[in-house]
Amino acid sequence: MNPEEFRAAGHALIDWIADYRERLTALPVRAQVGPGDVARTLPHHPPEEVDDFASLLGDLDRVVVPGITQVQHPRHFGWFPSNASLASVLGDLASSGIGALGITWQSAPALTEVEEIVVDWMRRLTGLDDGWRGVIHDTASTSCLVALIAARERASGYAAERGGLQAEPAPLVVYTSPHAHSSVAKGALLAGYGRENLRLVDVHPVTQAMDAEALAAAMADDAAAGRRPAAVVPTVGSTGTTAIDPVRDVVRVAAAHDAWVHVDAALAGSALLLPEYRWMIDGAEGADSLAWNPHKWMGTVLDCSLLYVRDPGLLVRVMSTSPSYLRSGADGQVTQYRDWGIQLGRRFRALKLWFHLRLDGVEAIRERLRRDLANAQWLAAQVDAEPEWRVLAPVPLQTVCIRHEPASLVAPDGTILDGEALDRHTLAWVEAVNASGGAYLTAAKLNDRWMVRVSIGVEGTERADVAAVWELIRKEASRIAQS
């Protein structure tokens, strides 16, 4: 495809995207396809002929749009928000169109230096002190794995340079909350710690936040038994209930064992743009690393995860490579981001953040976040006020955890009379809501019982959308309770 063909097709695709975003609200939120349905629409053999662009656009309509759950839809309340703001989409297009290669500072100095500047802007905008330095990774999963590997190496005295983790006599241990994201346990296992060395520390029964005294006791037990506490991962805004672990206390406890503290604020980091929410990471300056995803609630299109560290040298010592074919005269005077993570080749991801901040403006983003926080409080108040409905966890952020508790299944004092029937009821009404196409919600387990998360924060979600999902929820739950 030459530039002139690109010009014509590109204009058509831009229009297609604009139209798609405008007509989103008319689509069912959950993809209405079953396993294999999409694959069956496509040939098994690769194309032999060249297609015209119109047929590609036709396939976006025919195959792709009906085949995805519309997470940009204002009535999407599932998982966490995954906003792809159109300003950031343009930044990502600029990145692809320019086609820079981020393997070394020399290959694209601007890719490195714009990233340094923009992650530093984000540091200032979120109130982090100037002792933090940042990098853009793809996801919080990667950021956490990078932190856990760096922690492993620091705790083992850089065993990777010798016989590796397998030569270490003292088991290294990782601590997190049972409500930590699945990527924390996965990262610990991928890094080689082993499941027996992963401690899920007790949480407070109401806030669901990690109990720092239980953490202290677990670390002391391990140390007394000859094991070495290597890392603690507190979560700020857990996936289940947006619980907020006490960072300052965790840092204090971890410091006694010289353990790495990685703060996982994947969702909640967006709220740090609001000064009134910075209490959430009080004490984080004593941690070693902190990650959050602008590609969630803030809305810089996936993939865009910020990892901040107090001492980049601890990453570089573990991740650095310098084969002859990557050396240049600038080495030693510049940042080599390849040494801060797993991948050598990096996209120019800073452009999407740059475009997002400059075209939407941080004040407009803040207003939107405050709107969502207010909508969550409003919804929680509605649920609280409704007989047989319950808000199951505090609502510090934008997610409201709810359950319909019919009198036949739950006593007035909250005692669950028939837990399995309650689970069946919960899963039935959430499935009815999702199958309707009118909204999408995620069920999750809390204290071994199913509940439903209403996670507010899509760019287009207004109060009317929250009111509408609440009406749909009540309608489906009562219909099912009566059937």
Q: Which of residues 44-73 bind a copy of itself (CB under 8 A)?
A: 44-51, 53, 55-56, 60, 63-69, 71-72
Nearer to a copy of itself among residue 124 and residue 463 (C-beta): 124
Burial 338-353 (b: 16+ CB within 10 A, else e): bbbbeeeebbbbbbbb
Q: How far is the CB of 318 from a copy of itself (least distance, A)?
A: 7
Q: Which of 261, 287, 297, 347 binds a copy of itself (CB under 8 A)?
A: 347
User: Taking a C-beta distance cutoff of 8 angstroms, is the pair 90, 17 a contact?
Assistant: no
Does position 357 interact with a copy of itself (CB under 8 A)? The reply is yes
Q: Give CA separation, 84 vs 32, 287, 442, in Å.
A: 22, 30, 20
Q: Quick one: which of 385, 357, 354, 410 has its CA closest to 474?
A: 385
The one-character DSSP state at 244 is B
Q: How far is the CB of 251 from a copy of itself (least distance, A)?
A: 25
Residues 6+ apart with CB under 8 A from 245: 177, 209, 210, 234, 235, 236, 238
Nearer to a copy of itself among residue 381 and residue 445 (C-beta): 445
Does position 10 interact with a copy of itself (CB under 8 A)? The reply is yes
Parallel, antiparallel, or unpaired: how do β-strands 198-200 and 172-176 relate? parallel
Nearer to a copy of itself among residue 66 and residue 286 (C-beta): 66
Q: Give CA separation, 165 vs 159, 160, 189, in Å.
A: 6, 7, 13
Does position 21 interact with a copy of itself (CB under 8 A)? The reply is yes
The one-character DSSP state at 100 is -
CA distance 387 to 15: 48
Which region, judged by CB under 8 A, interacts with a copy of itself, from 136-144, 256-264, 406-414, 468-476?
A: 136-144
Q: Which of 86, 209, 410, 422 binds a copy of itself (CB under 8 A)?
A: 86
Residues 6+ apart with CB under 8 A from 229: 155, 172, 173, 175, 219, 222, 223, 254, 257, 259
Does position 463 interact with a copy of itself (CB under 8 A)? The reply is no
Looking only at residues 234 through 263 of this chain, which bind a copy of itself when binding is defined by CB under 8 A? 239-240
Looking only at residues 309 through 338 of this chain, which bind a copy of itself when binding is defined by CB under 8 A? 318-319, 321-327, 329-330, 333-334
Looking only at residues 139 through 168 of this chain, which bind a copy of itself when binding is defined by CB under 8 A? 139, 141-142, 145, 149, 152, 159-168
Does position 130 interact with a copy of itself (CB under 8 A)? The reply is no
Residues 6+ apart with CB under 8 A from 167: 159
246 token code pair: 């006490």
Q: Quick one: which of 190, 186, 184, 217 has its CA closest to 202?
A: 217
Q: How far is the CB of 406 from a copy of itself (least distance, A)?
A: 22
x/- mask, a copy of itself, residues 87-126, rule CB under 8 A, reads xxxx-xxx-xxxxxx-x-xxxxxxx-xx-xx--xxx-xx-
Nearer to a copy of itself among residue 117 and residue 381 (C-beta): 117
Secondary structure of residue 451 in the 3-state scheme: strand
Q: Count residues contacting a copy of itself (CB under 8 A)?
A: 164
Q: Quick one: which of 141, 397, 349 has its CA closest to 264?
A: 141
Which region, judged by CB under 8 A, interacts with a copy of itself, from 77-85, 201-209, 280-288, 410-418?
A: 77-85
Q: Cβ of 198: how many Cβ atoms within 10 Å? A: 18
Does position 129 interact with a copy of itself (CB under 8 A)? The reply is no
Does position 182 interact with a copy of itself (CB under 8 A)? The reply is yes
Parallel, antiparallel, or unpaired: how do β-strands 289-292 and 228-233 relate? unpaired
CA distance 449 to 461: 28
Q: Which of 22, 26, 157, 412 binds a copy of itself (CB under 8 A)?
A: 22
Q: Which of 185, 259, 309, 395 binds a copy of itself (CB under 8 A)?
A: 185
Does position 135 interact with a copy of itself (CB under 8 A)? The reply is no
Which region, judged by CB under 8 A, interacts with a copy of itself, from 202-210, 362-370, 387-395, 414-422?
A: 362-370
Nearer to a copy of itself among residue 21 and residue 248 (C-beta): 21
Does position 191 interact with a copy of itself (CB under 8 A)? The reply is yes
CA distance 192 to 233: 16
Looking only at residues 370 through 429 of this chain, which bind a copy of itself when binding is defined by CB under 8 A? none
Beta bridge partners of 291: 264, 307
Looking only at residues 276 through 295 of this chain, which bind a copy of itself when binding is defined by CB under 8 A? 293, 295
Q: How far is the CB of 44 from a copy of itself (least distance, A)?
A: 7
